[in-house]
Amino acid sequence: MQKTLFALSLGFGCIIFALQAAQAQQQANCGQRGQVIERLQTKYGESRRSVGLAANNGVVETYASTESGTWTIVITMPNGMTCLVAAGEAFQPVDEAAVTRGDKV
């Protein structure tokens, strides 16, 4: 019985530790909007390329630099917190007409 309780306690401890680590990483990828955008502009030379509204009322923006080829997608929540969603390299602007339903891709 004591071994089972010890194993359960250890398991719960591991779960709590993993959740705290995930929360800390999420906070490291978020900040006040002004600070995040300034960093994208000054460090990476990125400027806003697109903007849209997500289902959760978050504002989703794409920032990119044609010079360096870097790109970043961020979401700003109604509370003002901006979080990095994705980032990468080899950004290529595309100038093509929007595809509508029924069009062949």
CA-CA distance, 12 to 7, in Å (whole number)? Answer: 9
105 residues of the chain, pLDDT tens digit each? 555 444 444 444 444 444 444 344 445 689 999 999 999 999 999 999 999 999 989 999 999 999 999 999 999 999 999 999 999 999 988 877 766 666 665
Tokens of 90: 């080899």
Tokens of 3: 């071994």
What ranges do the domains of the chain cover? 2-88
pTM of structure: 0.66
The H or E element that residue 75 is part of is strand 71-76
Contacts of 105 (CB under 8 A, 6+ apart): 99
